[in-house]
Chain A
Amino acid sequence: MRKLFRKLAVTITAIAMVGVVGFSASVVAGGSDLEKGKKLAFNKKKGNCLACHTMTGGDMGGNIAPPLIAMKARFPDIAVLKTQIEDARIKNPASFMPPFKPHGILTDKEINQVVKFVHSL
């Protein structure tokens, strides 16, 4: 009887784990570019924009760089924003901002998603 319970417990745990993994995978895979961009911007190992910039929706944003707000007014041309995110050294060679594109911190696809999100703020 006890053996049966143990087997049952193992099976249930296994099913639960598959479920969780499957679910989180679908969360990562799904969603619009805007949502993906937001995740990348908050992720410490990816964009990590929150480390230096405060923005709506993110906790404990840093104050090293300007808050990301009214972005459409500040960057009417989204291409200018994209260049800034890709390589901030073009405008300011001493910039503290990591060169996301030339240093391969984010892929082109990821940069496009981050740009879409940041422009929406």
Chain B
Amino acid sequence: MKITMTATIAALAFSLMPFTAIQASPADDVKAFQGYFTNKYKDTKLDDYVNGIYSIDPASRKQWVEIEEFPPYELVVENGEELWNKPFANGKGFKDCFKGDIADMRAKYPHHDDKSDTIVTLESDINKCRTDNGEKAYGWKKGKIAAVSAYVAYQGRGKDIAVKLPSSEKELAWYNKGKTFFYAKRGQLNMACADCHIYNSGNFIRADKLGPALGHPSHFPVYRSKWGSMGTLHRRYAGCNKNIRAKPFKAQSDEYKALEYFQTIMSNGLKWNGPGARK
């Protein structure tokens, strides 16, 4: 009887073990996420993942390095600088909202705002500055918002990606929302972000190599040759969702803000290097 009891208790304890393991902290997640890639690609240094597919694909890297010699985003950054310095109708400007050194701005986002319990993104604050000053909000995915974002990103190059790890209940709720989005299958094709950009990163989908998820948010906004223009991270998210035949969420929706929050946390320790140029 005693033996049976002990066996039952042991069995119960073992069966519960996986459940305790699931409760990983965000810090554990970052370690596992980055460890997966550093283990998979021994030749790639951790800080090189900010270069996306080019960090693991020497063949396409050559072309990209050539493109970067005369970057297609250069004029957009200049345009963004003009918009940044142009006063609003009330005489104020972006500089009155974003106080301090512009080189520090990019690295302040995304972050959780306790009072409004939301994730604040660089783009959401750019438009908040406009509407707070009686100006019309920019469109969310491309054009002027991408230009201002590109200028801020350019000024903030080289700063650490260092999102404060979620600890409060509210922060953890946003974090888990983003994490679930990243790993959940969706759309008619039933695919998760992780399917392509974790498990199958480095594999070919027809002639295209799938990029690693580590470092994804570091270089946005990007000038994408396919678009022929600049776009925000949320524009890219919408494109990804369309590719797997899922109805895209709106730019700056809670879903995409949570995803940006989760993805940026996973890239903690790398450096901001936006804006970028991609295929």
Chain A residues engaging chain B, CB cutoff 8 angstroms? 50-52, 60-64, 89, 96, 98-99, 103-105
Instruction: State whether A96 touches B199 (Cβ < 8 A).
Output: yes
Instruction: State whether B200 touches A96 (Cβ < 8 A).
Output: yes
Chain B's interface: helix, strand, loop or mixed, by majority?
loop
> What distance in Å separates the Cβ of A50 from its nearest Cβ neighbour in chain B?
6
> What distance in Å separates the Cβ of B246 from its nearest Cβ neighbour in chain A?
11
Instruction: State whether A64 touches B189 (Cβ < 8 A).
Output: no
> What distance in Å separates the Cβ of A120 from its nearest Cβ neighbour in chain B?
22
Complex Cα–Cα for A45 and B30 (A) = 36
Complex Cα–Cα for A104 and B191 (A) = 15
Residues of A within 8 A of B206 (CB): 50-51, 60-62
Residues of B within 8 A of A64 (CB): 200, 203-205
Complex Cα–Cα for A98 and B204 (A) = 17
Instruction: State whether A105 touches B189 (Cβ < 8 A).
Output: yes
Complex Cα–Cα for A103 and B246 (A) = 12
Instruction: State whether B195 touches A96 (Cβ < 8 A).
Output: yes
Complex Cα–Cα for A105 and B195 (A) = 19
Complex Cα–Cα for A60 and B207 (A) = 5
Instruction: State whether A98 touches B203 (Cβ < 8 A).
Output: no
Query: Is B131 interfacial (CB-CB < 8 Å)?
Result: no
Query: Is B188 interfacial (CB-CB < 8 Å)?
Result: yes
Closest A residue to B202 by CB, please name it: A63
Query: Is B167 interfacial (CB-CB < 8 Å)?
Result: no
> What distance in Å separates the Cβ of A45 from its nearest Cβ neighbour in chain B?
10
Residues of B within 8 A of A104 (CB): 188
Residues of B within 8 A of A105 (CB): 188-189
Known pairs A50-B206, A63-B203, A105-B188; list 10 more (Cβ under 8 Å): A51-B205, A51-B206, A60-B204, A60-B207, A61-B206, A62-B205, A64-B200, A98-B189, A103-B188, A103-B190
Residues of B within 8 A of A96 (CB): 191, 195, 199-200
Complex Cα–Cα for A99 and B244 (A) = 12
Q: Supply 23 A–B pairs (Cβ within 8 Å), ascending by A.
A: A60-B204, A60-B206, A60-B207, A61-B206, A62-B204, A62-B206, A63-B203, A64-B200, A64-B203, A64-B204, A64-B205, A89-B190, A96-B191, A96-B199, A96-B200, A98-B188, A98-B189, A99-B190, A103-B189, A103-B190, A104-B188, A105-B188, A105-B189
Complex Cα–Cα for A103 and B207 (A) = 26
Closest B residue to A87 by CB, please name it: B190
Residues of A within 8 A of B207 (CB): 60
Residues of B within 8 A of A50 (CB): 206
Closest B residue to A102 by CB, please name it: B190
Closest A residue to B191 by CB, please name it: A96
Closest B residue to A52 by CB, please name it: B205
Complex Cα–Cα for A105 and B187 (A) = 11
Residues of B within 8 A of A99 (CB): 190
Q: Which of B188, B190, B199, B203 has most chain A Cβ within 10 Å?
A: B190
Complex Cα–Cα for A94 and B96 (A) = 50
Closest A residue to B207 by CB, please name it: A60
B204 in complex: contacting residue of A63, A89, A103, CB < 8 Å = A63
Closest A residue to B185 by CB, please name it: A94
Closest A residue to B199 by CB, please name it: A96
Complex Cα–Cα for A39 and B203 (A) = 24
